[in-house]
Amino acid sequence: MTGFSLSDLEKIVDERSKAPPDESWTAKLVAAGQQKAAKKLGEEAIEAVMAAVTDDRDNLTYETADLLYHLLVVLKIAGIPLQDVMAELERRTAQSGLKEKASRQSS
């Protein structure tokens, strides 16, 4: 098993975003702006869904890697650190999903 984490990927995205756009896909996406990066995120999400519904495990793994990378680029452009997302996930897991959903419906 690898020790590579989403935090490691976030650091790589940050470093590569500072390169000249003609030298880095990440820098090129960041320079193109949120609309382009979000479009790529959506494309990767669709490809991951297609791999999931066709039970294509290898392609699902590949497309999920693309999806996570593009999500981190979108977060980078938005100025949202991965830690903020992790804190939200931690907050949500403090109670069961059913209880959390029920509390939203009664509000």
For position 14, which CATH number holds? 1.10.287.1080
Q: Is residue 41 part of a domain?
A: yes
Alpha-carbon distances of 87 from 54, 63, 95, rounded to whole Å? 33, 25, 14
Q: Answer yes or no: is 47 within a domain.
A: yes
Does 86 map to a domain?
no
Number of domains in the chain: 1
Inside any domain, residue 34? yes
State the pTM of this model.
0.87
Residue 26 resides in a domain:
yes
Range of the domain at 59: 6-80
Q: What is the pLDDT along the chain (107 residues), one digit of tens a residue?
A: 679 999 999 999 999 999 999 999 999 999 999 999 999 999 999 999 999 999 999 999 999 999 999 999 999 999 999 999 999 999 888 877 787 677 777 65
On whether residue 38 sits in a domain, the answer given is yes
63 occurs within a structural domain: yes
Closest CA to 72 of 86, 87, 82: 82
Residue 26 tokens, joined:
């990440």
Please indicate, yes or no, if residue 69 is contained in any of the structural domains: yes
36 burial (CB, 10 Å; 0-12 / 13-18 / 19+) is middle
